[in-house]
A and B are shown apart, each in its own frame.
Chain A
């Protein structure tokens, strides 16, 4: 919080430190939401421009800085996804995602592609909630705050998202012993 206080006081070194502390989280969240490295790069810029402009309005009493940061990130991503519906063309073809060769097997790559495709077919709402929960590992209360929705809606949306994914991906083999998951 000291870093935030220093940033709010106009300390540019503190702002640089803040950027480097959170750049990966913001970039990777945007990358997962937008499926495009260039778009993620742009969102990273837009998010921190907004943070720089609006840090004075951030109220620590109303929630954590990260919650505020994630909200800005998600809003920029959703706005960009919306705009993307209107994009006409890409002159420079974005190279296909280079899935790093994984030592395990070709099956692993196919599995990743299947999940990727299933995720990309989800609506923006469902995809967002999946990323907030299973990438950022946020609690339902934090997700509710970021998306400004009731916790009950978080529950029902996650339930729907997972069940939609399961339908897309087909039967999932039983792999986890119950005692590990029934905490």
Chain B
């Protein structure tokens, strides 16, 4: 056996994962080859060093004493029927969520629609002008006290209230809404445009944009479709780059991971545009057209169901408006 062939077998030899015949050949070669002996010794020392490090590091880590009670609570939450006023896609994304109609200590009312949307989407970043750290801290504490929100992935920024009716879909395909692949982004531009990105950039995804319907701006050119009785436009065969990096206020703490995905290229996507209740809605997605139309048909104003389901909390004391949110991604308008 030559040294080059030996080289590929040494790790398996050290791991006792070679066949008896390979073992015999390796040992015969080692007996007469000083270079391979040194290589073997070096690999062995490295294995030992890595193994000791992993064992040592793991031994320092232990789950929190509350791990079992947290799990029990989540299991109990799964067993309970979800509140009927929650849209099903929010129920999937925020399991165990209960009624939200909470008055904050600081006089802020965070109503359920907004808080749910924030949690469901995992990110809400209002490109904030009114940015109040104490309010943000309250919102974070409040949200955390009620949901299993991954720590270290929450962001709440207070921003302006959109001046149009915000819509939410009551239907999302399972491939998009599946919790294990779900990634959500909500961001709000200075013009009040809200964008939500859902799904997996490597799989199927969906971006919803909405903003005030411009009275003087017609729908773009494309194939005419009907969505909920309204005229809409479908544009197919699109390709481009979708930006996932949000605008962040200067005083937000924390360092984004260096390897985060800032954008991704897409091909063969479709765009669906229509106006409803004074809101212009656009869906950009690589889902089949039938699925996109089904999502579009399911859009309804966020304020539905029992009690109000508003999209924004308000700050009655000083007239400013507030928002809440958290989490992982965003798309720049």
Contact = CB atoms under 8 A, between A and B. Distances in A.
B63 A87 contact: no
Contacts of A48: 71
A178 B31 CA distance: 11
B27 to A, nearest CB: 7
Interface string A42-82: 10110011001100000000000000000000001001000
B152 interface: yes
A87 B54 CA distance: 26
B11 A89 contact: no
Q: Binding site of A, secondary structure by majority: helix, strand, loop or mixed?
A: helix
A88 B328 contact: yes
Contacts of A135: 51, 54-55, 58
A86 B16 contact: no
A153 interface: no
B46 A16 contact: no
Contacts of A181: 14, 40-41, 44
B250 interface: no
Contact of B328 (A52, A83, A100, A173): A83
A92 B151 contact: yes
B274 to A, nearest CB: 28
Given A45-B70, A135-B54, A158 B261 contact: no
A175 interface: yes
Interface in A144-162: 155-156, 158-159, 162
Contacts of A134: 47, 50-51, 54
Contact of B253 (A16, A93, A166, A173): A93
Interface stretch (B101-109, B153-161, B221-229, B304-312): B153-161
Given A84-B257, A87-B257, A91-B140, A183 B46 contact: no
Interface of A: 16, 19-20, 23-24, 27-29, 31-32, 36-42, 44-45, 48-49, 52-53, 76, 79, 83-94, 99-100, 111-112, 115-116, 119, 130-131, 133-135, 137, 139-140, 155-156, 158-159, 162, 165-166, 169, 171-176, 178, 181-183
Interface of B: 8, 11-17, 27, 30, 37-38, 40-51, 53-64, 67-68, 70-71, 74-75, 78, 123, 125, 140, 148, 150-156, 180-181, 183, 185, 201, 244-246, 248, 252-257, 259-261, 327-330
29 contacts: A19-B68, A20-B68, A23-B67, A27-B62, A27-B63, A28-B61, A29-B58, A31-B61, A40-B63, A41-B64, A44-B67, A45-B74, A49-B75, A49-B78, A84-B260, A88-B245, A88-B246, A90-B254, A90-B255, A91-B253, A112-B57, A134-B54, A135-B51, A135-B58, A140-B12, A166-B46, A178-B37, A181-B44, A182-B30
